[in-house]
Every structure is written in structure tokens, then in C-alpha cells.
Structure 1
Amino acid sequence: MGFEKKEYEFLREIALDSTNTGCFINGQWKATGSVVTSVNPSNNQTIAKVTEATIQDYEEGLQACSEAVKTWMAIPAPKRGEIVRQIGEALRSKLEHLGRLVSLEMGKILPEGIGEVQEIIDMCDYAVGLSRQLNGSIIPSERPNHMMFEVWNPLGIVGVITAFNFPCAVLGWNACIALVCGNCVVWKGAPTTPLITIAVTKLVAEVLEKNNLPGAIFTSFCGGAEIGQAISKDSRIPLVSFTGSSKVGLMVQRTVNERFGKCLLELSGNNAIIVMDDADIKLAVRSILFAAVGTAGQRCTSCRRLFLHESISQNVMDQLVGVYKQVKIGDSLEKGTLVGPLHTRASRENFEKGISIIKSQAWKILVGGSVIESEGNFVQPTIVEISQDAPVVKEELFGPVLYVIKFQTLEQAIEMNNSVSQGLSSSIFTSRPEAIFKWIGPLGSDCGIVNVNIPTNGAEIGGAFGGEKATGGGREAGSDSWKQYMRRSTCTINYGSELPLAQGINFG
């Protein structure tokens, strides 16, 4: 078994073994479901085995979580922030090991794996400060001797369903904020990254135990679609945060809406970079490379479409093809690797299907366009010269495939940027103020993330993360995203002896 290999010895440092129990329920590790195998996408060999949750396990976990809510809500927010601070310290102590696990099990290169774990740590730090700033507003009352203000209270339980491409960072965006807001968390990690789910949960569990708090405050499940469906249907969970495809996200939204629950959706992206005729070409090429091939094109913010002003298009393409040919593809844990494998065999097959469609329509492949024959799920980063009207441009091929399209005017480029159903991230490279301010204004990009002279990916936690249209409209991490995890009450107190009515109504 792969877990016994010398290079995997670090897994014992984060409390993993060759066989693992995949559910943390009411402060205990237990699971009665099927046994699945965690696989290294660099060679498709077994890392370890995990026992998944059943619906019975889920129900036991939710009952305990529903009781734990009463304890957690009653703790003052700054004290909850202290617990999240300790979680951040626990993660920080295992940063290198957890980052290596992300690379091993998901397939992203080691610097990205470590960076992902750092993102949760940063979210913990952010949430600690936020725990003292969950402020409402004082609202002037039109009635004498009346005080009107807003009070924010916890929702109760927040369900978090995460995807394979960011198997722990997205948990951090949600859980850190949800916890300081006074909510318990129920986490279903991606089925193909169960070891990350277990390793992170174990660190959280240790902090709760050390502080004599109910373990059910943080409940986690390794499992498949049936656990996700149970979370979506469960009226005990007022808010469900889901990260994944637009197709599945729409099903989750419908299910949650049917019970009048709230949804926070982070779905597909079909992100574009515009390079204007006055752009810093060297800066643009570096940014495009990272945006298009980082995480092997498996970020929701990866650049899929590249719009080049016709006057500089050949220059950009020549430089871009040159750097693509120098990219080192290989094992995600090997030093110097820039592009690791796709996450699964199915992902590689999907890449092959996409390339077949491109070839069948006679579009020009400038570089790449093939799978790499090996034990792993490696493919060549690919650049395709194509028409904006090609149907494949409208869909998100979740891999390192970049479509290049020429344009003549800024207005034309903006129209092309906005022409797809997704609306997550976008970027323009220019130095002209009039172009910049049109791009970020009402007649510019229709995305939730609108950048200038930086890539489409690599968002900071301080801003609200999310997108419009088929991307789902959710916002996570910074800014005022915390408001989604709480319920707002508008409170009015009459401290006088009269009963004046609003709008000057006289009721006798």
C-alpha cells in the first residue's frame, strides 16, 4: 500500500494511517459505510483507505450538532474567536505536512498545497478580529422616545460542501466565519480527498477537546452524493454553502429553496483576460501563464479565455507559446514542477474529449493538445486559436486549455467577456485610466471579481470571493460576507409612555 512508502511517512505526523475512519460525530471518530481508496493522481496508486459515512451516521451527527448549537451560541463572540485562533495555531503547527498532503492527494504542486493551508490559517486570523466587529446599526426612529437598531444572531448550523480542487481552503472561508458568528459547522469534504478532510478535522477536534467544548460543534463526513443530498434537504441546517459545478449547484439550490433555506453557491467560472494594445506584455504573459496552467487549470478562477488586441496578438502568442514549452510537468511533490496531474482519470478523459471536439472543428492548436502517457493523469497545457462563436468556448473545460481570440476595440472585448453564462473572475491589462474605469464600472465586466494588471486567480481573503450568473452569486471570505452566516433582526424599543405609530397613523 502506498501509505507504507517512505515518502509518505509524514502522514503519521498528522494522525493518518493506512486505514482511517471518515466521520467525526459527537466528538468521536466512527463510520459504518463503504471503504474507499484515496489515490495519488501523480501515479494513481493507493495512499490509504477510508470508511465513509452512511445516512445513519449522518443522522447521529446532526442530532448531536443540533444540541451543541445551544452551547456554542451562548458563548460570547470574542471567546468564540479565541477558539478559532487556537484552530489557526494548530493548523500553523502542521502547515508543511498538511500542504504536502494537499499536493499528494489533490495533485497541485507543493507551493500551491502549502499556500492553500496558509489560506485557512489566514482566515482564522481574519475571523479572530472579526469576532469583535459583528456590529449592527443604530437607525434613527421617526417616533419620539423610540430606539431602532439591528441585532445579528447566529443561524444555528452551517453546512459546508467542498470540492476537490480546494479541499480545505474553501472550508476555511466558510467555517472560520461561521464559527465566530456562533454557528456549528457540518462539513462534507470532497469524496476524492478524504484524507485532507480527516487531517483537518482532527486538528479542530483537538482544540475543541482541549477547551472542554462539545466535539459536535464541528461535525465532518467523508462520503458521496447521498450525504450532500441529506445536507441539502435537512431543515436543521439553515445555510448550505456548496462549491462545485453549476449543474449540481442548481440542484442543491432548488432542494434548499424548497425548504426555505439559504444557499451560498460558488460554482463554475469561464474566466477571461483582456490584453489591450498598451499593456505591459511581459507582465501579461507571466500572469496568463499562472492563471491558465496553475493547479493544472483546475481552479474555478483559472483563465479559460484570452482576448488579445489584434495589434499585439502575435507578440503575446509568440511569447506565451515559448513559456508554455518550458513548463515542467510532473509529480506534484517534485521540486521544480509547475504543472502537476489532473485530479482523476475521469478528468483526463474529459480533457481528451474536449481536445477531440476542438480538433474535429479544425481549430488551431498552437501548443499542447495531448495527454502524456504515464501512470498519472498528466496532460499538456494547451493553447487554441479559436473563434468567440465556437460552442466549446462557452463551456468550462476543467483543465489547462486556453482559448485565444482577437479583438479590435475595448467594447468588443467587454462584450465577449460578458457573453458566457458564468461570471466569476476577469482581468484586463492596460495602463489607460479610461479603459480601467470603464472595465470596473457598470458597462464593464459583469463578474464578481474584476481585476486590472493581475491574473484572474490568486484572490486575497480580505475581499468577498464569488461570482454572478451561473457562478451562483455567493460571497465568501472577507468584506461583509459574514452577514450571510447570521440572521438580522430590526429591533425597536419604546422607552416612553405614549404609543406614536409609524407614518403618523392615528388609530384612535
Structure 2
Amino acid sequence: LKFHLVDHATNSSPAPRIVRDVTVVVEDSRDRKVETRRVPLGVAAAIVPWNYPISIAFLKIPAALLTGNCVVVKPSPYTPLTTLKIGELSRDLFPAGVLSVLSGGDELGPWITEHPGFAKISFTGSSATGRRVVQSASHTLKRVTLELGGNDAAIVLADVNVHAVAEKIFWSAFTNAGQVCMATKRLYVHESVYDELAFALAEYAKTVKVGDGFEPETKIGPIQNRAQYDRVCRLIHDIAERGERVLIGGNVVPGAGYFVPVTIVDNPPEESPVVQEEAFGPVLPMLKFSDLDDVIAKVNASPYGLAGSVWSSDADAAALIASRIHSGTVWINDWLYITPFTPFGGRKQSGYGVECGLEGLLEYTGTQTVAINRS
């Protein structure tokens, strides 16, 4: 296999600048030649969630095909049509069986992960389902990559320019109605800028319309399905039951669709469910801190480790803090910067293996060593 990698040190040409042969000569002596090369695994299954059915599928499909595998894409039962359309459009581009789309109900996933015809499973979804994927895939010991849930934290330092970052921080939490695995789900803010940022976020939220996506002024749409809508509503109900203060939102109007208002919770206790659980909806706890070591410990206490962010006017100091966070990706003054050239994956219960980058390509290969005795 030969992978064409783009050198991003310069922007002078969009064409690949480096060609790397993945075959490695381990030994080449008078008596022996030993080569280790990367070989395709066979048939890969790409199991894709409902929140970004096309973009997540296209993190998996090119990597599987480029490394010489066939691939079967299984969309979520909630979002089959767009993925099936991709299969229809690409039907004449590949030999039969190279790229297939297979849709179905909840029973289809376990059938795929158990089936001995698949050599590789790439799954994106919840940690609970990820555990079941591993369990069923273990019967044939097939290769598995898991990109699972997270409870991603953002740390806002005392030197931050609130005016410059408030809108970015808002959308890091509420893009796609918060239905993003790498969204900010816990916002830790230094006490010296807490009130200023709380006011800025609440005021900006008032300008953001939640509603029908066919209306041009709408910025946030509904929760994608009833089951997830009910989970988010239960979490908001728990906030009210506990008497926790909200800066904005918190009142779900039933019967008008799966719409949930932007809800920002004002400094709830660390042990509160809204802090400890992944909402996967437009609900954000905002927490005050004074001690940096203490807040890093709280961030790392989560069983998840998918992503996070640090916000500061001193990018170098923020990068040092990022190095102490137990997450697969940490952004500085940014959020959701993902490219095909940059590997990303989770730690702890956010999964294992990576997607994208050379490392993501190699997830779809196995090693074969060929030793030639010349004596």
C-alpha cells in the first residue's frame, strides 16, 4: 500500500508532496531480508450515528477503501435515507460489493458485529452501545475502532477576552442543538470573569432562535428523535427538581415538536447530573472555579476523555494546561477543528483507536512480515 500524504508545512500546492510506502525493510543483509508491510483486513463495517450521518460516514468510507478493503455502511435507523442515497449515487463507481449500504432496525447492528464475514468494525455512537459492540465482536476477535460519547469540558482562564470568545464558546456547546459528541458539555470559568461571561452568553442566547429549520432566521433546530428528546427533558426536569438556577431557558413547551430551548445552568454542584452526565442536547452547566489544579482534577475525574478546550489570551500557557487534560483532543481558543490529516479518538470510556490521519488509515490494515532466508 502507498499512502499519499499532504505536507501542510506550506500551502503552495494542494497536490500531495510526500509519498510514503508503508512497507518497511527491517533487515537487508547477506543472509536475510525481512520486510513488514501493511495489508488490507478484508471487509469493514462502518456503523454511523444519527447526528451527522453523512460526514461521519465519510470519515470511515475513504479510509477503508484507500487501504484496500470493502466496506459496508450501516446508518442509524433514524437517518437511513441520506446514506442510502450515497450508496445509490456511487453504485456505478465501484465494482459490485466494494461499497454497500445496509439499513435496518436495531437488530442489524448486533448481526453485523457478530458476523464472521466482517474483519473490522468502525463504530461511532454511545459508550453503552460501544460496550455491546466490543462484546459481540469479541466472538471472532475482529478489529474494532470506537468513537464514543464524552463529557467534554472547557476551561476559561482569568485572562480571557470575554467579548472575543463568548460567541465561540456558545456555539461550542449549542451547535446542532448540542447533539455533537465533541461539544462543550461542562463549562468551567474562572471566578474573576464568571459573571461577565455568564451575562454575555445569556444575552447572546436571546438572539438565537430555536425552531423550524425551514425558517431562515432559525439557528438551532430540534432534537433528532423522541428517545433523545425525552432524555434531555428528564435532565431539565431534574435541574428544576433540585432547585438549580438557570441563566436562561429551562422551560420546555410540550407538543410543539422536539424543540428544547437553550438552557444554561448557573454554577450547579459538581455532583449534579447535569454536570456528570452527557446531555447531548442544548443544556450547559456553567461552573465557577478559582484553583487551576482543582479544576483540572475535576475535568479529569470524568470517566470520559473525548475532547476539550482551553480559552485564554496566552495560548502558550493554555497549551501547557491542555497537556494535563486526559482527552484525545484539546483545542486552544477553538472548537471542533478536525481535518482528514489529523488523528482523533477518545481515551477512557470515550473509546479507542483513531480516525483520520495516517494513524486512522492504519486502523484498517494488518501487518504481514515476510522473511527471506538467503543463506
Is TM > 0.5 for Structure 1 vs Structure 2?
A: yes
Instruction: Give 1:464 shift.
Output: 1.0
Matching residue of 1:367: 248
Among 106, 110, 135, the residue aligned to 2:22: 135
Q: Which position in structure 1 is the counterpart of 2:354?
A: 475
C-alpha change, 1:315 and 1:132, in structure 2 (3 Å) is same
Cα deviation for residue 138 of structure 1 reads 2.7
1:240 aligns with 2:121: yes
Q: What is the letter of the counterpart of residue 365 of structure 2?
A: M
Please give the alpha-carbon distance, in whole angstroms, between the structure 2 residues aligned to 1:460 and 1:247.
27
Pick aligned residue for 1:341 from 222, 234, 237? 222
| Alignment partner of 1:424 is 2:306 | yes
Contact 1:188/1:222, CA 8 A, preserved across alignment: yes
Deviations 1:163-216 (A, max 9, x none): 0001111111111010011100011101011111211111111322xxxx22x1
Alignment of 1:279-298 (within 5 A): 279-298=160-179
Paired with 2:57 and 2:179, the residues of 1 have a C-alpha distance of 17
Indicate the residue corresponding to 2:61 in structure 1. Answer: 175
User: Are 2:319 and 1:440 aligned?
Assistant: no
Aligned length: 365
Q: SS in structure 2 opposite 1:186?
A: strand
Deviations 1:373-394 (A, max 9, x none): 5542111011002122224311
From 187, 210, 225, the equivalent of 1:306 is 187
The counterpart of 1:449, out of the listed 323, 329, 347, is: 329
2: CA distance, partners of 1:399 / 1:427 = 19
Q: Which residue of 2 aligns with 1:29?
A: none
Matched, 1:322 2:206: no
Residues 186/235 of structure 1: CA separation in 2 closer, same or farther (3 Å cut): same
Q: CA deviation at 1:358?
A: 1.1
Query: Normalising to structure 2: TM-score of the pair?
Result: 0.91
Native 8 Å contact 2:124 2:146 kept in 1? yes
Asked whether 1:194 is paired with 2:73, we answer no
Q: Which amino acid aligns with 2:81?
A: L
- Mapped partners of 1:313, 1:339: distance in 2: 25
SS at match of 1:225: coil
- AA matched with 1:402: L
Once the two structures are superposed, what CA deviation does each residue of 1:249-275 show, in whole Å capped at 9, x if it has no partner? 101111112321111111101111100
* Residue of structure 2 equivalent to 1:486: 365
**Larger helix proportion of the pair:** 1
Q: CA 1:397 to 1:130, structure 2 compared with 1: closer, same or farther past 3 Å?
A: farther
Correspondence list, 1:266-285, <5 A: 266-285=147-166
User: Would you say 1:229 and 2:116 are equivalent positions?
Assistant: no
- 1:381-420 pair list within 5 angstroms: 381-385=262-266, 386-420=268-302
Paired with 1:274 and 1:227, the residues of 2 have a C-alpha distance of 40
Q: CA deviation at 1:217?
A: 1.1
Indicate if the aligned counterparts of 1:245 and 1:267 stay in contact, CA closer than 8 A: yes
State how far apart, in whole Å, the 1-side matches of 2:189 and 2:364 are: 41
Letter in 1 for 2:193: I
Distance 1:309 1:138, change over 3 A: same
Q: CA separation in 2, counterparts of 1:231 and 1:306?
A: 38
SS in 2 for 1:476: coil
**1:462 alignment counterpart:** 341
1:162 aligns with 2:41: no
- Does structure 1 conserve the Cα–Cα contact (< 8 Å) formed by 2:343 and 2:357? yes
Is this contact kept in 2: 1:305–1:403, CA < 8 A?
yes
Displacement, 1:317? 0.5
Shift of 1:129: 5.9
Contact 1:272 1:426 in 2 (8 A): yes
Give, in whole Å, the separation in 2 of the partners of 1:429 and 1:467.
Answer: 21
Alpha-carbon offset, residue 131 of structure 1: 12
Deviation string for 1:323-357 (max 9, x for gaps)? Answer: 01110112223323210111012222222110111
Structure 1: gaps spanning 5 or more residues: 1-75, 82-125, 498-508
Higher-Rg member (1/2): 1
Identity of aligned residues (%): 31
Higher relative contact order (CA 8 A, sep 6+): 2
Q: What is the CA–CA distance in structure 2 between the aligned matches of 1:438 and 1:131, rounded to whole Å? A: 31
Kept after mapping to 1: 8 A contact 2:274/2:285:
no
Structure 1 residue 492: deviation in Å? 2.6
* Residues 319 and 332, structure 2, Cα contact 8 Å, conserved in 1: no
TM-score normalised to structure 1 length: 0.68
Closer/same/farther in 2, CA of residues 172 and 131 from structure 1, 3 Å limit: farther
Q: Answer yes or no: is the 8 Å Cα contact 2:166–2:201 preserved in 1.
A: yes
Matches within 5 A, 1:65-84: none
